[in-house]
Amino acid sequence: MTVHIGPLAPGHAGEALTIQRAAYVTEAQHYNAPHIPPLMETVAELRADLESGVLALGAWLDTRLVGCVRGRVAGDRMEVARFVVAPDTQGRGIGTLLLKAVEAAAPPTVRTLWLVTGAASEGNLRLYRRSGYVVVGNRADSAGVPLSLLEKRVSD
């Protein structure tokens, strides 16, 4: 299996939203919360985000886009957001590759990487712990879903 990781352009917005919706449905079912923010994002919003120059990467299997992630930089922190892999291609290491790639693409001024994930999403938490993130807090999203806040310090 050859995975290619590269920049996501505004023209990928439709494909990216399709993967995002498919991937997050499982989370929504888990929490009985169909209106979680990643499922409410529109294609116009996603395209506008990509046009804004946000750090955005995709993973391709041949010509098929199968994964996406965005990195939102604010000061010396970067949020890893909208991290998704198409359901039928999960569990093959594509997510781990994408996470490493967005971390490596962070500007050198970034000292802390952070993200939120469902507090009961054990698979996600395992992946993030394995990648060096630690839980530093809790909050709820706009749909009331309990989230864990995780951080990772960037090593020199």
Q: Footprint of ligand COA on this chain (CB under 6 A)?
A: 23-24, 26-27, 83-85, 90-96, 115, 117, 121, 123-124, 126-127
Q: Which is nearer to ligand COA, 123 or 144 (CB)?
A: 123
Residue showing the smallest CB distance to ligand COA in the complex: 95
Asked if 92 and 66 count as a contact pair (C-beta separation under 8 A), the reply is no
Q: Which is nearer to ligand COA, 46 or 117 (CB)?
A: 117
Distance of closest approach, residue 102 Cβ to ligand COA, in angstroms: 11
Q: How far apart are CA 152 and CA 94, in angstroms?
A: 20
The beta strand positions in 64-133, using DSSP E, are 64-74, 77-85, 112-118
CB of 108 to ligand COA, least distance (A): 25
Q: How far is CA 122 from the centre of its chain?
A: 16
136-to-34, 117, 122, 142 alpha-carbon distances in Å: 26, 12, 16, 20
Shortest distance in whole angstroms from residue 156 CB to ligand COA:
26
